[in-house]
Structure 1
Amino acid sequence: MSKVAFLFPGQGSQHAGMGKELYEHHTKAKSLIDEADNILDYPLSGLMFNGPEEHLKKTENAQPALLTTSIAALELLKEKGVTPDYTAGHSLGEYSALVSSGVLSFKNALTVVRQRGLFMEEAVPSGVGAMSAIMGIEREELETLTSKVEEDGEIVQLANLNAPGQIVISGADSAVKKVEELAREKGAKRVISLEVSGPFHSKLMQPAQDKLESVLEPVPFSDAEVPVIANVNAQEATDASVIKNQLVEQVTSPVYWEDTIRRLLALDVTTFVEVGPGNVLSGLVRRVQRRGVNVYSAQDIESIEKIVENIQ
C-alpha cells in the first residue's frame, strides 16, 4: 500500500512574503503566526511578510520563520484531512517534522530554533568557515578529497548529501577552497560557493552543539506519533530520548538527505509533500527518484487545495 511522507524545508528556502497568504485567509495560520510573534517577543511576521531579505536570511531569523511558515501550512493540511505516514525535515526542517509528529510542541520548537540559530551564528567568526556545493562528483570520491585535505590538519567534511552528484561540503574557509580546486580537477560539473553565515554541519559547529545540548536538556519530548526519519542516520525514530540525542548530534553531523528519500521509498512511500516555503526538497526527491512517485509542494492555499484533490 502506498504511503505519504511530509518533508519540511531547511534554511535557504526562506523568502519575503512567506506565509502571508495563509495568514490573511486561514484562521489557524493567523493564530499560529501571531503566537510566534508573542513567543519570540518580536515581530517575526513582519520579517516573514515584508523582509528585508538581508535580515530574513540571518540564521536566527530564518530558522524560526521557516518553522512557523511550515507549521502554518501543516495546520491547513491537517484541517483538510491530509496526514503523513512518515515525516522528515532537512536540517532545521527536522524541528518542523518533530512538531508534525507530536514530539515537540510548536512553542518549544520555536524557542529552541531561535536559540539554535543564534548559537550557529556565534559558533565561528565571520569569514573563518565556508560551505560549497559540489555537483557531478559522487560521495565516495568527494570523501576521499576531503580526507586528503584534512590530513593537513584542516577541517572540511561532507555536510549535506542532498542527491546523487549534489553534495555540500563545509569547514574552514581555506580547506573548503582546497577541496573546491581538487573537485574541479576531478571533473566536477559545477562548484558553487554558498552565501552562508557559518560552516554548518561541520565539526566547527561543536560550540553550538554544546550550547544546544544544554538548552534541549530540560525541554519535554514525547514519543513520535508518526515516525521521523532522522538526518543523522536516515532511519526512522519514535523514541523521545533517542530523538533528542539525534537533534544534538545533528549540529555537527552530515544531513543524509538522499539516504532519507531512499529509506522512505523502501518504506513504500510514493507521495511526497513538501510542507512550507519553496520547492527545494521537491526537486531533490525527483533527482533521487524520477518515476513512480508523486511530489507536491504545500506552501499556499492553491497548492494545498491541489494536494487535497489529488490525494483524497
Structure 2
Amino acid sequence: MIVIVCPGQGSQTPGFLEPWLTEPSFRDQLSGISDAVGIDLVAHGTVSDADTIRDTAVAQPLIVSAGLLTLSALLADGRRDRIGGIAGHSVGELTAAAGAGILSETDAVAFVRERGAAMARAAAEAPTGMSAVIGADETELLAVLAELGLSPANYNGGGQIVVAGALDALAKLAENPPARARVIPLQVAGAFHTRYMQPAVAHLQEFASTLAAADPTLPIWTNKDGSRVTSGAEYLDLLVGQVSSPVRWDLTMESFADAGVTGIIEVAPAGALVGLAKRGLKGVPAVAIKTPDDLPAAFDLIDQAA
C-alpha cells in the first residue's frame, strides 16, 4: 500500500519551485492559485528570500500550492486508483484534504490563506518560536517543558519532539537540554499548535462554516490522534482544531504501519517526512519529490505496488 504524505511549514527553501515552473502547465496552475488567494506565489517560490517565505502568511499557501502541483502529476493517468491513502503534517493536512477530495483545490488554498494569516496575527502577539528536540527521554522532556512553560507541539516519532513557546524559555532549554538530547531552533514565526494559536481558532471556525466538505475518496488520517477519518465534515472540524493542538505524526505513522504501508511518497517541498519515515517506518521504501525529476521514481514505486 502506497501512502502519500504532505509536508508542513519549515520545509520551504528559497527558489524551491523554480524547477517546477519551467513546465508551462505547472506555471499556469500556480498562477491560477496565486490569483485565487491574491498572493504572488510564483515570485515567492522562485525569487523571494528566506525571510520573506518564512512569514507564516506566505509560507503556508506556498507549501500547500507546491503539494498541489505535485499531486496534479502524481495522481494523473490512473495512478490515483493505486494509492492506498494520504495524510499531511500540520498545514500539509490542507494539501491532503484536496488530494482526498474533501476540499476543492480552490477551497483548500482559500482555507490555507486564512489559516496562515490568522496564525501570523496570533504569532505577532508575543515573541514565540519552536525547537526540535532529538534524543530526549519523553517523560524527562515533558517535565522540563512544564517547568519552563513550554509545550510539545509536534510528536514526530523516531525520537523527535518539536516544542514551542516563549523565546526566552526556548533559549533556557537549549542552554540546559535533557540528557543526551539535542535542541535545534526552527525557522518558523511562532509557537504553532499550542495555546498561543488559540486566537486563530475562532476565525477559522467561522471561515470553515462557509466551505463545502465532501467525504474523502482516498483513505486519510488526522494529526489529532493518527486515526482514519471517513467524514469530510469531521475532517474540516479537525483542521480548525489542529491549529492550537499538538501534531501526532508519531501516531499517524503507527496507523500507516497497521494499515500495511509498503511505500511512502512525499510531495514537494519534500524531504522532512521521508526523513521521519526512515526512523519511524524502518525498511519502508520512500521517495521525496523535490523536483519534477523525482516523479519517475515515485511512478515506479506506485507501479511496483500495483
| TM-score interval for Structure 1 and Structure 2 normalised by the shorter chain | over 0.9
Matched, 1:272 2:264: yes
Q: Pairwise mapping of residues 219-230 of structure 1 onto structure 2 (< 5 A)?
A: 219-230=211-222
The corresponding residue for 1:163 is 157
Q: Pairwise mapping of residues 157-236 of structure 1 onto structure 2 (< 5 A)?
A: 157-180=151-174, 184=177, 186-236=178-228
The corresponding residue for 1:304 is 295
Report the alpha carbon displacement of residue 127 of structure 1 after superposing the two structures with TM. Answer: 5.4
Q: Pairwise mapping of residues 66-77 of structure 1 onto structure 2 (< 5 A)?
A: 66-77=63-74
TM-score (norm 1): 0.90
Matched, 1:246 2:244: no
> 2:50, 2:187 → 1: CA distance?
13
> 1:124, 1:75 → 2: CA distance?
32
> 1:124, 1:25 → 2: CA distance?
36
The corresponding residue for 2:120 is 121
The corresponding residue for 1:21 is 19
Instruction: Write the deviation string for residues 75-95 of structure 1: whole angstroms up to 9, x where unpaired.
Output: 111224333211111101000
Is residue 126–residue 197 contact of structure 1 (8 Å, CA) maintained in 2? no
Of all paired residues, the percent bearing the same amino acid is 29
Instruction: Write the deviation string for residues 22-78 of structure 1: whole angstroms up to 9, x where unpaired.
Output: 332252x23321211211234211111212222122111111111111111111112
| SS of alignment partner, residue 218 of structure 1 | coil
**For 1:261, which of 229, 234, 253 is the aligned residue?**
253
Instruction: Write the deviation string for residues 267-286 of structure 1: whole angstroms up to 9, x where unpaired.
Output: 00111000111311100000
The corresponding residue for 2:141 is 142
Q: Pairwise mapping of residues 28-177 of structure 1 onto structure 2 (< 5 A)?
A: 29-83=26-80, 84-125=83-124, 128-149=127-148, 154=149, 156-177=150-171
Is residue 19–residue 72 contact of structure 1 (8 Å, CA) maintained in 2? no
AA aligned to 2:245 is: S
Report the alpha carbon displacement of residue 230 of structure 1 after superposing the two structures with TM. Answer: 0.4
Report the alpha carbon displacement of residue 179 of structure 1 after superposing the two structures with TM. Answer: 4.3
Is residue 223–residue 249 contact of structure 2 (8 Å, CA) maintained in 1? yes
Is residue 54–residue 189 contact of structure 2 (8 Å, CA) maintained in 1? no
| SS of alignment partner, residue 247 of structure 2 | coil
Is residue 54–residue 187 contact of structure 2 (8 Å, CA) maintained in 1? no
**5+ residue gaps, structure 2:** none
Report the alpha carbon displacement of residue 125 of structure 1 after superposing the two structures with TM. Answer: 3.1
Is residue 129–residue 188 contact of structure 2 (8 Å, CA) maintained in 1? yes
> 1:87, 1:202 → 2: CA distance?
25
Matched, 1:11 2:5: no
Report the alpha carbon displacement of residue 212 of structure 1 after superposing the two structures with TM. Answer: 1.3
Distance 1:159 1:180, change over 3 A: same
Distance 1:174 1:35, change over 3 A: same
Report the alpha carbon displacement of residue 171 of structure 1 after superposing the two structures with TM. Answer: 1.8
CA RMSD of aligned residues (A): 1.8
Distance 1:295 1:101, change over 3 A: same
The corresponding residue for 1:286 is 278
Report the alpha carbon displacement of residue 112 of structure 1 after superposing the two structures with TM. Answer: 1.3
> 1:195, 1:306 → 2: CA distance?
30
| SS of alignment partner, residue 228 of structure 1 | coil
Is residue 14–residue 56 contact of structure 1 (8 Å, CA) maintained in 2? yes
> 1:146, 1:192 → 2: CA distance?
15
> 2:180, 2:154 → 1: CA distance?
17
Is residue 162–residue 257 contact of structure 1 (8 Å, CA) maintained in 2? yes
Is residue 80–residue 308 contact of structure 1 (8 Å, CA) maintained in 2? no
Report the alpha carbon displacement of residue 124 of structure 1 after superposing the two structures with TM. Answer: 3.4
**5+ residue gaps, structure 1:** none
Report the alpha carbon displacement of residue 126 of structure 1 after superposing the two structures with TM. Answer: 6.2
